[in-house]
């Protein structure tokens, strides 16, 4: 019996592959555990449509990420911090504060988990903060930290 795998099956094949298996193995294991479906013309056609839709959605998400990355290049946000003794910064700026400021000042809803900060910002001045928008797209947001 030919079966289209819906998930990876160890020692049999990867997701989306059409494989030949014994009838009993297909009925009692693969079909019963929803690891695959019988390879009929309708099922093969449905899987092709799902794959095409997934590729189209991925392309749209990539295009949206690239567009947002270009938009971020020219934008900057301003944050204020208290100054301690000798003009040193008192505290730090975290990704949570940057995300909140981006929403307030720019109207952009950026997830704080997408901001790539190796350490919190502890100095005054301009800082380039990378924003991981997609696995292939990283934008840069300028953060100006001023003294309050």
pLDDT in tens, 13-61: 998 889 999 999 999 999 999 999 999 989 888 888 888 888 999 999 9
- Per-residue pLDDT, averaged over 131-138, amounts to 90
pLDDT at 46: 86
Does pTM top 0.75 for this prediction? Answer: no
Ranges of H-type helices in the chain: 23-25, 41-73, 95-106
- Which domains does the chain carry? 2-63 (3.40.5.10), 66-147 (3.10.430.100)
Q: Which residues are within 8 A (CB) of 8 and not within 5 positions of it... i.e. 6 or more apart?
A: 14, 15
- Per-residue pLDDT, averaged over 105-121, amounts to 88
Rounded to the nearest 5 percent, the helix, strand and coil shares of the chain are: 40, 30, 30
pLDDT at 30: 93
| pLDDT band, very low/low/confident/very high, at 88 (cuts 50, 70, 90) | confident
| pLDDT band, very low/low/confident/very high, at 78 (cuts 50, 70, 90) | very high
């Amino acid at each position: 019996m030919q079966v289209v795998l819906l998930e990876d099956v160890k020692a049999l094949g990867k997701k989306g592959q059409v494989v030949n298996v014994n009838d009993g193995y297909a009925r009692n294991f693969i079909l019963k555990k929803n690891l695959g479906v019988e390879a009929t013309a309708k099922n093969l056609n449905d899987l092709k449509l799902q794959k095409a839709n997934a590729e189209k959605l991925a392309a749209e998400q990539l295009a949206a990420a690239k567009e947002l990355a270009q938009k971020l290049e020219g934008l900057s946000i301003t944050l204020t911090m208290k100054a301690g003794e000798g003009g040193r910064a008192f505290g730090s700026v975290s990704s949570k504060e940057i995300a909140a400021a981006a929403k307030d000042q720019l109207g952009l809803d950026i997830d704080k988990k997408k901001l790539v900060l190796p350490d919190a910002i502890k100095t005054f001045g301009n800082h380039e903060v990378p924003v991981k928008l997609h696995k292939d797209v990283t934008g840069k947001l300028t953060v100006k930290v001023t003294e309050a």
